[in-house]
């Protein structure tokens, strides 16, 4: 899966968790919590959905890597390289 696919996957997961949020203007560099309203439970839901859809385990110590969309792509890239993109909200 490419970095672009990972960003799409994260946006799709966020759309499932926070369907009222506008995701088109999200940047890769700015923290997600500064761009949209995500609380700690929403963040945990994102991590759980990554495990459910893609079998990717993210240890709690690695959560800061998922702070931005760019960080998600960089951190998840090697872990999702052999995964197939699964969009629910496409």
Domain boundaries, the chain: 3-80
Q: Specify the pTM.
A: 0.92
pLDDT of residue 5: 96
Mean pLDDT rounded to a whole number for the chain: 95
- CATH 3.40.50.9100 is the classification of domain 3-80: no
pLDDT of residue 89: 86
Q: Tokens 């760019």 map to which residue?
A: 70
Residues 6 or more apart in contact with residue 5 via CB below 8 angstroms: 85
Q: Tokens 């799709």 map to which residue?
A: 12
The torsion defined by the Cα of 79, 34, 37 and 59, in degrees rounded to 10, comes to 30
What letters, b where the CB count within 10 A reaches 16 and e where it falls short, cover 56-77? bebeeeeeeebbbbebbbebbe
**Is it the case that residue 90 has pLDDT exceeding 90?**
no
Q: Length of the chain, please? A: 90
């Amino acid at each position: 899966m490419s970095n672009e696919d990972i960003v799409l996957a994260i946006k799709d997961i966020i759309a499932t968790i926070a369907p009222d949020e506008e995701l088109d203007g999200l940047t890769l560099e700015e923290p997600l919590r500064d761009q949209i309203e995500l609380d700690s439970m929403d963040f945990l839901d994102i991590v759980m959905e990554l495990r459910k859809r893609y079998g990717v385990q993210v240890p709690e110590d690695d959560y800061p890597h998922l702070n931005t969309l760019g960080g998600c792509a960089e951190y998840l890239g090697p872990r999702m390289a052999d995964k197939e993109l699964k969009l629910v909200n496409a």
